[in-house]
Amino acid sequence: MKIAPSILSADFSIMKEVLIETEKAGADYIHVDVMDGLYVPNITFGPPVIKKFRKHSTLPFDVHLMIMNPERYIKEFVEAGADIITVHPESTIHLQRVLSLIKDYGIRAGVSLNPSTPLDTLKCVGEDMDLLLIMSVNPGFGGQSFIPQIHKKIEEASAWIKEYHPHIELEVDGGVNLKNINMLRNTGVDTVVMGSAFYGEMPLDVKMAEIRKSLGEQL
């Protein structure tokens, strides 16, 4: 299973070390949460900051855009070093257009669904997406609890992907920890985002070993 640590929960004053340690620990992606204070009630950072982060990591940058009208900034995020860009359907009038725009830059395009957004929203864009990011919390903040009702939606998403769009990577974001990660893997989730459960007190390689062990994976 792929582990995508969310740097939102890391110490921003030592981001260079955080990025180097995260890569050494064996993470698969760096999950980068971009918030504009409009689509979600929090503000983080934009392309210039991601460009600086890019200098200290060779891992794929999994950029999660929680911003209104993301089409305005796709070029800037690509130039800053994004490898995957994920957008929310409610943030744009023309979802399919944004997905094709992202893919035109030669990177992977994802769609993220909030807890209250139904899977049906994606029926017509399955072919246009490379990744589906299911939110298991309401976006905006790290450290929230996994909403149990979302499990059913993850099962449905997994079945939909298997049947119609096996090329889509299934990722889950929000409240993922050592207690629920196995359940997610068993439901067909390919990748989990981990923020507060990853960037805690422990050295990151020890934390990653603990995660891999709980999944029964080789270190």
Q: Which residues are catalytic?
A: 33, 173
* Part in contact with Zn ion (CB under 5 A); list of ranges 60-68, 95-103, 153-161, 201-209: 60-68
Q: Which of 54, 64, 108, 153 binds Zn ion (CB under 5 A)?
A: 64
When asked if residue 81 is in the footprint of ligand DX5 (CB under 6 A), the reply is: no
When asked if residue 33 is in the footprint of Zn ion (CB under 5 A), the reply is: yes
* Part in contact with ligand DX5 (CB under 6 A); list of ranges 67-75, 93-101, 157-165, 193-201: 193-201
Q: Which of 173, 189, 204, 211 binds ligand DX5 (CB under 6 A)?
A: 173
Residue with tokens 């999994």: 62
When asked if residue 137 is in the footprint of ligand DX5 (CB under 6 A), the reply is: yes
When asked if residue 36 is in the footprint of Zn ion (CB under 5 A), the reply is: no
CA neighbours closer than 13 Å in the CB half-sphere of residue 43: 3
* Part in contact with ligand DX5 (CB under 6 A); list of ranges 49-57, 77-85, 171-179, 209-217: 171-179
Residue 92 in contact with residue 65, Cβ under 8 Å? no
Q: What are 11's two structure tokens?
A: 């110490």
- Report how far residue 35's alpha carbon sits from residue 38's, in angstroms, rounded to the nearest whole number: 8
Q: Which of 173, 191, 194, 199 binds Zn ion (CB under 5 A)?
A: 173
Q: Which of 3, 111, 154, 193 binds ligand DX5 (CB under 6 A)?
A: 193
Q: Which of 54, 142, 157, 161 binds ligand DX5 (CB under 6 A)?
A: 142
Instruction: Give the binding site for ligand DX5 (CB under 6 A).
Output: 6, 8-9, 31, 33, 64, 137, 139-140, 142-144, 173-176, 193-197
